[in-house]
Amino acid sequence: MSLDVVDLRAFYASPLGHVARRFIGRTMLRFWPDCARQRVLGLGFSTPYLSVLGMEAERVIAFMPAAQGVVNWPSTGLSASALVEPTLLPLPTASIDRVVLVHALEETESPDDLLDEVARVLSPGGRMILVVPNRRGLWARMDGTPFGQGRPFSRTQLAALMRAAEFSPEHWAEALYVPPLKRRLLMRSAPAWEQIGAGLSLPFAGVHVIDATKQFYRRAPLRATRRSFAFRPILLPQPTPTPRSARPSQADPAG
């Protein structure tokens, strides 16, 4: 079942949603401290993070999947959000500098097609932040939050998907070590959970947060080629010459 935009908005308005936004957003800012003069695209439900990352950006757009629904964003001024098909983005090739994917990859039926489309709209050397539920994490095992919906991924699976789409991971981090329980004591102690979990590299973080760069080139498929040889003339054997005396005599035209 696909995520609904109403449920997503309600989650980020809750205390647990504030915790998720705080720690995921802090990791994003560590990767991208400055987006000045950049064209930024958010795909999925990324508006809670675009409000932080896109403060100095040249342009910020929020695309939301048709199966999820769309909300107006930002709340003031002209709307910069739209309902789209994630694997057919209405953007020219190489028209975006940075893309933020949150609640997107785990919800699509074709993750490889989604990353290929992101690579298409990114300019050469453009960057992508990908936030995906961790397959080994507690948040993926409990369906009370959006990170418990869809398909979680392991680090190995994400690395293979990015490599196939010509993305090179630059930074890799985990976030949300605190259990996804709506208890005040846990939420107050969330900073300690994050510090201990990150310091010990514990495997049960809620999400992967990856900063990846689009490569400048794409591999050309290998094709079978024939080896070329220098031209060499083929010499046929000549017939053995017949002696002149052995040739048949011809009648003398004077006789």
What does the pLDDT look like over 65-115, one tens digit per residue?
A: 999 999 999 988 889 999 999 999 999 999 999 999 999 999 999 999 999
* Both structure tokens of 104: 């997107």
Q: Is residue 87 part of a domain?
A: yes
145 Ramachandran zone, left/alpha/beta (phi>0; psi -120 to 50) = beta
Q: What is the pLDDT of residue 224?
A: 44
pTM of the model: 0.82
Report how many domains make up the chain: 1
Distance set, CA 182 to CA 8, 12, 122 (Å): 16, 13, 38
Tracing tokens 């392991």 back to the chain, one arrives at: 154
pLDDT lower than 50: segments of the chain: 220-231, 234, 251-255
Range of the domain at 88: 5-214
Cβ atoms of residues 43 and 101 within 8 Å: yes
CATH number of the domain residue 208 falls in: 3.40.50.150
Q: What is the pLDDT of residue 187?
A: 85
Q: Is residue 236 part of a domain?
A: no
Q: Is residue 192 part of a domain?
A: yes
Q: Is residue 232 part of a domain?
A: no
Q: Is residue 252 part of a domain?
A: no
Q: What is the pLDDT of residue 236?
A: 53
Q: What is the pLDDT of residues 35-57, one digit of tens each?
A: 999 999 999 999 999 988 988 89
Q: What is the pLDDT of residue 225?
A: 41
Q: What is the pLDDT of residue 182?
A: 85
Q: Is residue 243 part of a domain?
A: no
